[in-house]
Amino acid sequence: MKIDPDDFRVIPGKRVKLGKWRTDIKPLYKSDKHYKELLVNDVGELSELQRLLYASSTYSLLLIFQAMDAAGKDGAIAHVLSGVNPEGCEVYSFKQPSAEESAHDFLWRTTCRLPARGRIGVFNRSYYEEILVVRVHPDILEAEGLPAELKDRKTIWDGRYRSIVEFEKHMHRSGTRVIKFFLHLSKEEQRKRFLERIDEPSKNWKFSLSDLRERKFWNRYMGAYEDCLSSTSLKGSPWYIVPADDKLNARLIVSRVVIDALKGLNLGYPRLTGARRRELRAIRRKLEG
């Protein structure tokens, strides 16, 4: 089955209702063996495109992953980018802000981690936490030390949407292409994965009571995500809503979206100048002599 990234792309300006977006779709693979073959092919293609990105050193790519707990962000990142040269890729996971980070504007800590030209940057959670988690738990605003007049809950979220939109437009003008993934997990599938984390000793470390507490705010999170996806999906930095109940499907979709984005840059290896060709011929003569 051919994967069309546009099937999962949020159209700019269109209101998102997550209840109308499926969390599961028909498998894109015929068997586990077929899935592995598809992923290996995608990883190989992505590896070659990453070499082109690194060699050309003109664009950079930022991949942002947002989701509810247990949606498979770590697995998607690990599998899809398994063939990328570590020298050309950097992954950052953003947890609760430190005291230093909270003393700056909400974009500060992630801005420091943006990928340089020629590189792929991956944000496992990101500045979007400030309009998701903070919106569901607005008491967090008190710890950010904002002036009282800037904490008006009727205006602060729209203000942060605008800040993010302008920031991503700035990145686009600077040569950084931003691709954003929301791994769309059902509440029932999350329950099953939580139980799996309890039952399998190797996954116990992934689960805590805080995960269960956040589950109680499911509907609030869905509302926050709907506003976020509706307000911040741009032509140059789109959101993709990836059905995540099937982890294998989700990984195949993510890999094709990333490959499609890199292909759209029309990358190529740097062209040799006449002086460079003469230099290489001179080196060859010395080596052969």
Can you tell me the distance from the alpha carbon of 89 to that of 115, in angstroms, rounded to the nearest whole number? Answer: 8
Domains of the chain, start order: 5-288 (3.40.50.300)
| Chain position carrying tokens 């470390």 | 205
Q: Are 261 and 179 in contact (CB under 8 A)?
A: yes
Q: What is the pLDDT of residue 1?
A: 63
| Model pLDDT, residue 158 | 95
Average pLDDT by consecutive 10-residue portion of the chain (289 residues)? 90 96 96 96 96 95 97 95 91 92 93 96 97 94 85 90 98 97 98 91 79 93 98 97 98 97 91 86 89
**How many Å apart are CA 70 and CA 80, to the nearest integer?**
17
Widest distance between CA atoms in the chain: 76
Cα(167)–Cα(30) distance, integer angstroms: 41
**Element at 2 (helix H, strand E):** none
pLDDT at residue 142 in the model: 82
Q: HSE of 271 in the Cβ direction (CA atoms, 13 Å)?
A: 2
How would DSSP label each residue in 194-237?
HHHHHHSGGGGGG--HHHHHHHTTHHHHHHHHHHHHHHH--SSS
Q: What is the pLDDT of residue 17?
A: 98
* pLDDT for the residue 240: 98
Give the Cα separation of 129 and 228 in Å (integer): 10
Which tokens is 97 given? 């802000």
